[in-house]
Structure 1
Amino acid sequence: MLNNTLAARLKASGIDMTSEQWGAIIILLNEGAMSQGHLGERLHLEKSSVSRLTNGLEKRGWIERTKDSKDSRQRLVEPTPKALETAEQCAIIARSIHEEAQLGMNESEMIASRSLLTKIIKNLEGASK
């Protein structure tokens, strides 16, 4: 539901980006340029899914692929100025959805839910190895 809501709100705001693409942009903005393989690991996606995701982002002008200065065989994925320009608007939309999702929850409930979700993610990461 969160993904669908985010995708609908981004579209309504005139932003041609899926929720999955937004997740990739957030990682790249926070962590900097990285290989497509590393991005896939961070997103917990298969290689083919990451390839489709990055192709879509590149086609829309949200990312660019550059050669790694440390390893010329490797290509890095990094956000473009277009992604940077729109990131704040996307973040505002994402934050508002996050706030709506937590309506009626007190601070201890929010902390508990984040803790439980983190535990679930770690458990699933361990199970997939």
Structure 2
Amino acid sequence: MSAPELTHPTLKDLKFEIGQVLVGWSFLENTMRGQLKRAGLQKKIMKGPVIVHWRTYPDRAEELLKPIEKVARVRNLLAHCIYSLSADPWTANSAVIVCVAPDGTKHSLNIEDLQETCTELSKLMVTPIRLYS
């Protein structure tokens, strides 16, 4: 008798997707940093998170700020707030990450949420935006 074939995501799959989001965020930050550099803000961006500096240009970056904030929220939960991971490869929809935000709010992310975040990160990295004249 052979073991049943795994048909749903495992913990390994879940951890892989977490890594994909974190790596994708790093690439997006590099893209944002490049835009800020081209806008002549090299010294200003040496300190603090890049997204903080990006927020200072809402007039030019407004169309990207909302989707960036959305992926930043997921990234921040994954980077700072993971409370538990669970996945049962024999049960549908069981691959879940529970994050507890600093205010105590619990957030559940499933593997599809992470995959959607990666897709959004990829789109943001190739969306042209000019912060400089």
TM-score by length of 2: 0.26
**Over alpha carbons, which structure has the higher Rg?**
2
With a CA cutoff of 8 Å and minimum separation of 6, indicate the structure with the bigger relative contact order.
Answer: 2
Structure 1 or 2: more helix by fraction: 1
TM-score (norm 1): 0.27
